Structure 1
Amino acid sequence: MDLSLAVLSGDGIGPEITAATLHVVAAAERRFGLGLRLSEHPVGVAALAATGSTFPAETAAAIKAADGVILAPVDTYAYPAGQPNPSAIVRKSLDLFANIRPAVARLPAARRRAEIDLVMYRENTEGFYADRNMFDGSAEFLATEDVALAVRKITREASTRIAREAFRAAARRRGLVTAVHKANVLKRSDGLFLEAVRAVASEFPEVRLEEVIVDAMAAHLVRDAARFDVVVTTNMFGDILSDEAGELAGGLGLAPALNAGSDHAVAQAVHGSAPDIAGEGIANPAALILSAALLLRWLGERHATSALVDAAGAIEGAVDAALADPAAHTRDLGGTATTMVFAERVANALKD
């Protein structure tokens, strides 16, 4: 296969963890002969300085032409008013309706805290997010200087397609989907979401469906995360709960994610750009490395290419091998290893 990956290095620690991730991808390329063509494109603060936009037209064209995208964290707080959020634009322009966030306890301490092995399917295009709900403009506005309003958008179409992806995943895993909602209060919007999920459930008789209210779900994750397999929910609930699950699984430095649609997918770690440690070379690159593995698996399944699927599994195994050595732990895991030391350990493990 001759596949192209667009690489967007982002802000803050983004360039550092991107370099580490590309080092690991290069090691996978050497071992598996993946035929990947990588090209880097500007976004964020660096793009603003060079082009006057945090998301220039050249980058927009590149991501649409690419087979996959690796997107590092961006620091939207640092952007001047009116500058676009690259993450939101990528998700909207490529119609990446599924935000897929696995949470797996990879460290012994995390396994003692929670035997967690779940994957969260978060609807990614609407919900409470004001930048994704309107044809034009924002769904958040001031009625008066003292009254702020926001519109939540839930559609049957979006709810159905994220539910279908969740049930397909559960059919390959342990056969349980947990739909998280607040339909006891948000009767129309979450009620519509649940209607769509129940309709999809009828297509998968081999998969069991349970329904859990979102505040109860937050408690259940702490109490007994092992009971969950595949979780499906709306945008903001999924954003919050997946961070909780990621922390239970060992921390956001180990929390990968894939934004997937019908035709495109983007590897993007759950965590942010951490500007407070940018440039120090101490950020944990594991989440972005694991996100890249998710992207390779998605591409491999889409193109029926076993080498890509094998490479994804090998990268995940190599990350586990590196994590088994405390000398490779970065500061967030209680160690002293640098970003590139961790990446080199993963790359070396890939040789085996």
Structure 2
Amino acid sequence: MAKYQIATIEGDGIGPEVCQSAVTVLQETCGAGVLDFNQYPGGATHYVRSGFVLPEDTFQACRDSHAIFHGAAGMPDVTYPDGTEVGNDLHLQLRFKLDLYANVRPIRLYQGDFSPLKNRASGEIDYVIVRENTEGLYASRGAGVSLRGEVVTDTLVMTRKGIERVARFAFDLSRKRNGAPRDGKRRLTVCDKANILRSYAFFRSVCDEVSKDYPDVEIDYAYADAITVHMVKKPDFYDVIVAENMFGDIISDLGAATVGGMGIAPSGEVGDTHGLFQGAHGSAPDIAGQNIASPLATVLSGALMLRWLSDRHSDSSLLASAQRVERAVEAMLSEKIAIPRDLGGNASCTDVTEAILKHLT
């Protein structure tokens, strides 16, 4: 039986709680000897103790392992001299050092009652946002100019290589899915501002070029402002959305809100050889250590990790395990057995974990 080494960084705030919950579920799902979760330090709390947010030993383990699993990072009061939060630097360093160019954010409505949108049924919202993860406006991180406290600039950077590879990733992802809930069509929506800025016009043109290699996937376009309306009015139209870094960051949070919030939003940051998986939410230090945090986003991120490992290593058993986890979450939520606080219930982190385990089939 294959054995996969998973570099695990529990991180800050609720990170240890939700990470431990997810590890319990994943190990139960996959069985003994399949996943080996190895703990390594990192994050804002570790920075306070050691001066390092990402120690070299931790980075080497992340580089050499089959995948990286992360709880949460960041403490609002732990900042660098420029005011930016230390914790965010953990996954940012990993993102750029390991070239994790595709940020994958599945948006799925597991239970209709959790959506603020009227008359939406379970499964009616089911799409993935693919955010270009290493270029765009965020490439200026730490490199912008502040002149005399009067003028500041940040530069938006796009390259043909960067756009082409994330577009191919998004098209390939659409081919693996069952199409949009509304009509079953495999569809890639390009989110940009091509009507205003040359950089986004270039983004769209490269996506158009790549689309010629995917005649079985329909290509669609939406300006970043308009898509915020469409994601609310017709979310069932979408299959896969691809966007520049900042736009992808913004619309993925909106998408999460339409299915219940950040507490049920998984994410993966992947490249050609490495993958980092964590819930899309923050570290919520105000509720840390109280056993009230929801582990759902982290558990679903674990399922996303299994899917990625399955593709990368042609291991169908991992795909089956990922599907078991997702079915268990959906069954538990549909039966309203253990609803966490952020979704309107009062179940503890432990309650949710136990309910998922009971529904594994």
TM-score, normalised by the number of residues in structure 2: 0.91
Of residues 172, 197, 207 in structure 2, which corresponds to 1:186? 197
2:293 maps to 283
1:227 maps to 237
Of residues 270, 281, 293 in structure 2, which corresponds to 1:271? 281
- 8 Å CA contact 2:268–2:277 kept in 1: the answer is yes
1:259 maps to 269
RMSD of the TM alignment (CA)?
A: 1.6
What is the CA–CA distance in structure 2 between the aligned matches of 1:310 and 1:143, rounded to whole Å? 55
Q: For 1:121-145, what per-residue CA distance to the aligned partner results, in whole angstroms no more than 9, with x for missing partners?
A: 110001111xx348xxx23221231
The Cα shift of 1:49 comes to 3.9
Of 36-45 and 308-317, more deviation after overlay is shown by: 36-45
The Cα shift of 1:172 comes to 2.7
2:38 maps to 39
Letter in 1 for 2:266: P
What is the CA–CA distance in structure 2 between the aligned matches of 1:108 and 1:180, rounded to whole Å? 26
2:157 maps to 153
Alignment of 1:130-209 (within 5 A): 132-133=139-140, 138-173=142-177, 174=179, 175-187=186-198, 189-209=199-219
What is the CA–CA distance in structure 1 between the aligned matches of 2:40 and 2:345, rounded to whole Å? 32
SS in 1 for 2:222: strand
Q: Are 2:89 and 1:61 equivalent residues in the alignment?
A: no
What is the CA–CA distance in structure 1 between the aligned matches of 2:114 and 2:348, rounded to whole Å? 22
Letter in 2 for 1:163: A
Alignment of 1:100-119 (within 5 A): 100-110=104-114, 112-113=119-120, 115-119=124-128
What is the CA–CA distance in structure 1 between the aligned matches of 2:11 and 2:194, rounded to whole Å? 37
SS in 1 for 2:129: strand
Gaps of 5+ in 2: 180-185
Q: For 1:179-211, what per-residue CA distance to the aligned partner results, in whole angstroms no more than 9, with x for missing partners?
A: 000111212x11111111001001111111111
What is the CA–CA distance in structure 2 between the aligned matches of 1:76 and 1:214, rounded to whole Å? 30
- 8 Å CA contact 1:327–1:336 kept in 2: the answer is no
Letter in 2 for 1:80: T
Aligned residues: 343
- 8 Å CA contact 1:267–1:295 kept in 2: the answer is yes
- Among the aligned pairs, what percent are the same residue? 35
1:323 maps to 333
TM-score, normalised by the number of residues in structure 1: 0.93
What is the CA–CA distance in structure 2 between the aligned matches of 1:156 and 1:45, rounded to whole Å? 35
2:249 maps to 239
The Cα shift of 1:34 comes to 5.7
